[in-house]
């Protein structure tokens, strides 16, 4: 079975980090989330992928190539204009089999897919939607379904207190090729507002199944940070690259930690990181590969992407810094989000 990974979104709510980067390529635990997703699906037996691209597609193509480096096969589609979720699936139709998986590639999740595939087969469904339960469904698409799991209505972003349930579309679909005939080609199509209602009206089987496991839409800066804190707390059980030196302290290869420096767990330190004398890292800090943190700097509840430089005595708290960012000596930054050398913006 092939998996179609929908990676063409603009990631506007995660800007400025995604101004020059596809959102699924934002690192989680010092590796692009999309790489985690491909390897996770490979563990579950998926080895053939189609990745739907639009925003800075060359970043993804260059990183993954044909997939052989990861032991999988990858093909690509490119949207010239925004097509929406259903439109992107339709564009990929020539590359897909009779039954396939489609996943929103910017959702951080750790979910077993076999029960969803078995549910789909047992119901002889045209589409089966993976569902997840959230505390506040007002920012998502909510479903109403029968006791057998058949969906009869979608409510898009209901007002607080008016949602018919707390089960939302998790952006994970099992689809049969027949369902694609309900998607008009060559234009933007919403899968929840157009495609699924059309399938339901035509009497096609659209089902939903609640899924167990970790799920988080990392579409905002707060949720992006939360995914990292859940990873450090091991609620999100993705691989951590590095040696665990004491409980909750992971350190990569070829790192140096200066005299009197303190690592307060949980922290994740990438490869070839240099930490100066009397620096304090953590709690809840993720430091990318090839970063340099000079003496007496303090970094807490902060994510640094690769090759960042934190100069002497700087103080960072609840920040996210993109690739190659540089923080001046004795600068004090709180809730800053910086893409490379661009000006910090408040969360």
The CATH number given to whatever domain includes residue 63 is 3.90.550.10
Residue 300 or residue 344, greater confidence = 300
Claim to verify: residue 115 and residue 67 sit in the same structural domain: yes
CA-CA distance, 100 to 121, in Å (whole number)? Answer: 12
Highest average pLDDT, of 103-107, 197-201, 266-270, comes from 266-270
What is residue 337's predicted lDDT score, i.e. its pLDDT?
A: 84
- 266 and 205 belong to one structural domain: no
Q: Are residues 249 and 333 in the same domain?
A: yes
| Tally of domains in the chain | 2
**b/e map of 61-92 (b: 16 or more CB within 10 Å)?**
eeebeebeebebebbbbebeeebbbbbbbbbb
Same domain, 200 and 256: no
User: In terms of domains, do 71 and 212 share one?
Assistant: yes
pTM above 0.75?
A: yes
Question: What pLDDT, on the 0 to 100 scale, is given for residue 311?
Answer: 94
Average of per-residue pLDDT across 274-302: 96
Same domain, 150 and 202: yes
Q: Are residues 66 and 158 in the same domain?
A: yes
pLDDT given for residue 301 in this prediction:
95
Handedness of CA 162, 166, 172, 174 (dihedral sign): negative
Let me know if residue 231 belongs to a domain.
no
Interhelix angle 33-43/57-64, nearest 10 degrees: 50
Residue 82 structural domain:
2-219
Q: Of 160, 184, 219, at which residue does a domain stop?
A: 219
- Whether the pLDDT of residue 342 is over 50: the answer is no
Mean per-residue pLDDT for 221-234? Answer: 93
| CA 96 to chain centroid | 23
Whether 341 and 198 share a structural domain? no
What is the pLDDT, as a whole number, of residue 341? 44
What does pLDDT average to over the chain?
89
Indicate whether 228 belongs to any domain: no
Same domain flag for 188 and 42: yes
pLDDT cut 90: percent of the chain above it: 61
* Same structural domain, 35 and 91: yes
**Per-residue pLDDT band at 336 (split at 50, 70, 90):** confident
pLDDT digits (tens, 9 = 90+) for 89-131: 999 999 999 999 999 999 999 988 999 999 999 999 999 999 9
Confidence band, pLDDT 50/70/90 cuts, at residue 83: confident
């Amino acid at each position: 079975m092939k998996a179609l990974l929908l990676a063409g979104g603009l990631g506007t709510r995660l800007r400025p980090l995604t101004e020059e980067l596809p959102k699924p390529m934002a690192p989680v635990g010092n590796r692009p989330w999309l790489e985690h997703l491909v390897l996770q699906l490979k563990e579950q037996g998926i080895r053939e992928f189609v990745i739907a691209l639009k925003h800075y597609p060359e970043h993804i193509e260059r990183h993954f190539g044909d997939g052989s480096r990861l032991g999988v096969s990858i093909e690509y589609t490119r949207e010239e204009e925004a097509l929406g979720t259903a439109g992107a699936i339709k564009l990929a139709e020539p590359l897909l089999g009779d039954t396939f998986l489609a996943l929103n590639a910017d959702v951080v999740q750790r979910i077993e897919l076999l029960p969803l595939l078995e549910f789909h087969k047992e119901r002889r469904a045209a589409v089966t939607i993976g569902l997840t339960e959230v505390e506040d469904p007002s920012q998502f698409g909510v479903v109403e379904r029968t006791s057998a799991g058949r969906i009869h209505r979608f409510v898009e972003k209901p007002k607080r207190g008016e949602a018919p349930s707390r089960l939302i579309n998790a952006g994970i679909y099992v689809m049969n090729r027949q369902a694609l005939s309900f998607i008009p080609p060559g234009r933007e199509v919403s899968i929840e507002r157009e495609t699924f209602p059309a399938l339901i009206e035509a009497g096609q089987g659209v089902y939903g199944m609640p899924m167990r496991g970790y799920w988080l839409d990392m579409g905002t800066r707060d949720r992006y940070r939360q995914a990292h804190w859940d990873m450090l707390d091991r609620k999100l059980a993705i691989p951590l690259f590095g040696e665990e030196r004491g409980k909750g302290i992971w350190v990569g290869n070829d790192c140096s930690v200066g005299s009197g420096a303190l690592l307060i767990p949980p922290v994740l330190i990438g490869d070839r990181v240099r930490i100066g004398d009397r620096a304090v890292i953590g709690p809840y800090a993720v430091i990318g590969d090839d970063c340099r943190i000079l003496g007496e700097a303090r970094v807490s509840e902060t994510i640094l992407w690769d090759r960042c430089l934190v100069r002497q005595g700087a103080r960072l708290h609840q920040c996210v810094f993109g690739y190659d960012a540089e923080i001046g000596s004795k600068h004090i930054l709180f809730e800053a989000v910086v893409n490379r050398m661009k000006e910090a913006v408040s969360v």
